[in-house]
Structure 1
Amino acid sequence: MARIRHVFSCLIAVAALIVAFAPTAGTAHADSRSADAAPVRVMPLGDSITDGFNVPGGYRVDLWQKLLAGGHEVDFVGSMANGPGELGDRDHEGHSGWTIAQIDQNIDNWLSTYTPRTILLHIGTNDMYGGDPGGAPARLAALIDRITARAPDTELFVATIVPLSFSDGTVRAFNAEIPGIVQSRADAGARVHLVDMYSALSLSDLADGVHPNATGYSKMATRWYEALLSVPGSLGGAEPAARTAGRS
């Protein structure tokens, strides 16, 4: 009987050890899943088209819904905030009336404050009105270089600008320079990707000749979403690897 009691006591002790250590292993596994599922910080960056002039929230509304439906955990970041109720996260860096140079003057602070994992850049429309539209490609190149130097691990998506009902030749000339600017940086190892936004919209998708209407913004959202899906890591999960792809 004494031997039986001894064996029984040993079994109880072993069972207690298993119970004691099981929660620790389970907690570590849960913590790992939680870390993997942390929302990816995405910064919508640009001017009033990013802000959503004419249609509150602009392309960010449909893009948010697409990301949500696709099961992607995303945190839109920026110092600005606006949009309707169906836009689950209203933060952005869309500044009405701003030019490339103005974004360039502020980008260092935004990068350090919000540390975005992914940036959606659509800028240059207001430069088409100014006195030096021909210098816009060089200004955009300088902005891209600043972003990639300050945040080399950030995935930067650079869009050609949407059509204008006037000055279409100026817009086309600007947009024609962007693929080469992006590709040269990608070839050098920067995480930068071209998004052809100009071809996604037509003049009928503009509300006032400048800003998209609801249909236009929805088309922008689709083009952004397709670009994000094409680059591993831009929405979390695997580390980004497409450094030389250049195009999205």
Structure 2
Amino acid sequence: MRIQQILIFITFFISVQMMANEKPVRIMPLGDSITAGYTDNSAWNHPFEQGYRAPLYTLLTKASIPFKFVGQSAEPMNKKFGDPTHGGTIFPKLDLKALGQDGHRGYGGWSIPKIQKNISQWLKEDKPDIILLLIGINGINPKSPQQLEKLLNTIYQTDHKVKVIVAQITPYSTYKKVLFDYNTFIRENLVPKFKKQGRTISTVDLYQHFLITPKDPKSIDKKRLSNGINHPTNALYEKMAQSWLEGIQAIIKKN
């Protein structure tokens, strides 16, 4: 019996050591204010809890996936759109900054073309293994699909090995056909096209979490948006984190 216990301990010790020595996956959350984690700025009546990034941190940690969030955006703690700390008196329950895990490239109000102008430099600076791309709601228009495809081309031209998970984006409080069509393009055209080119790319459906009736894209629940317009509540950010986790796990399993 004692020998069995010793063997179990040795096996556990080796597995822990292997996990500790495993190179962390460098994950770049990339996008706009939703990636930065805004809720109802600039009032900040809904507490800032790091958006989907804090619950994703928890999920990745529980899944024993070594990782590092990368990116050098200072938002929202730079108070560009209000002060989420209310003068340094309120901080997130899980403070990613204190954990050294506050890396991201989320910028409030940014559109696809603004990301396009900066992405090559960011990739060189941040060196991500996986990009979580959630962009398009700002300035959404019929040209957005082509803008997104151009952005993906630039990403892969800069780093052909990087893996990308493209989100079917979250909605406004009222149904917009142009946004729904954009998500359809991502799922049915964009991702399959880049897969055929040999790229590691996939998609997660974040739009679905905001629907009262899953099969009805017009059944958007306004209560799931903290500002009543486009920013998710913290509860919805948690659902988004679960979708991201599943996308990340699928990539890791394949590699």
Q: TM-score, structure 2 length as denominator?
A: 0.74
The match for 2:226 is: 207
2:130 equivalent to 1:118: yes
CA distance in 2 between partners of 1:215 and 1:169 (Å) = 25
Shift of 1:78: 0.3
Q: Distance in 1 between matches of 2:49 and 2:108?
A: 13
Cα deviation for residue 166 of structure 1 reads: 2.9
Q: How big is the alpha-carbon RMSD for the aligned residues of Structure 1 and Structure 2?
A: 2.2
Give the superposition deviation at 1:79: 0.8
1:34 CA displacement: 7.7
Question: Size of the alignment, in residue pairs?
Answer: 202
Query: Where does structure 1 differ by over 4 angstroms across 4 or more consecutive aligned residues?
Result: 32-36
Pairing 1:216–2:214 present: no
* Alignment match, 1:244: none
Q: Deviations over 1:121-178 (max 9, x none)?
A: 00001022xxxx0000000000011112211111100001101113522211211111
Q: Establish whether residue 140 from structure 1 lines up as the match of residue 148 from structure 2.
A: yes
Query: Partner residue of 2:81?
Result: none
2:54 partner amino acid: V
Question: Which aligned pairs between 1:1-248 and structure 2 lie closer than 5 A?
Answer: 33=18, 37-54=22-39, 55-81=48-74, 84=92, 86=94, 87=96, 88=99, 89-128=101-140, 133-179=141-187, 180-202=189-211, 203=221, 204-208=223-227, 209-232=229-252, 240=255
Letter of the 2:151 partner, please give it: L
SS at match of 2:118: helix
Is the contact between residue 46 and residue 103 of structure 1 (CA under 8 Å) also seen in structure 2?
yes
Q: Is the 8 A contact 1:152 1:191 kept in 2?
A: no
Counterpart of 1:127, as a letter, is: G
Q: Structure 1's 34 and 218: CA in aligned 2 closer, same or farther, altered over 3 A?
A: closer
- The answer (yes or no) to whether the contact 2:35–2:52 under 8 Å persists in 1 is yes
**Structure 1 residue 70 displacement after superposition:** 1.1
Structure 1 contact 201–219 (Cα < 8 Å) conserved: no
Structure having the higher Rg: 1
Cα distance, 1:35 vs. partner?
A: 8.6
Higher RCO structure, 1 or 2 (CA under 8 Å, sep 6+): 2
Structure 2: runs of 5+ lacking an equivalent: 1-13, 40-47, 78-90, 212-220
After TM superposition, the score normalised by the length of structure 1 is: 0.76
The structure whose residues are more often helix, as a share, is: 1
Q: Quote the Cα distance in structure 1 between the aligned partners of 2:20 and 2:242.
A: 28
8 A contact 2:224–2:233 mirrored in 1: yes
Greater mean deviation of Cα atoms: 63-72 or 162-171: 162-171
- The residue that corresponds to 1:236 in the other structure is none
Unpaired runs of 5+ residues, structure 1, are 1-28, 234-238, 241-248
Q: Percent same amino acid at aligned positions?
A: 33
Shift of 1:84: 2.7
Equivalent residue, structure 2, for 1:19: none
CA distance in 2, matches of 1:126, 1:46: 10
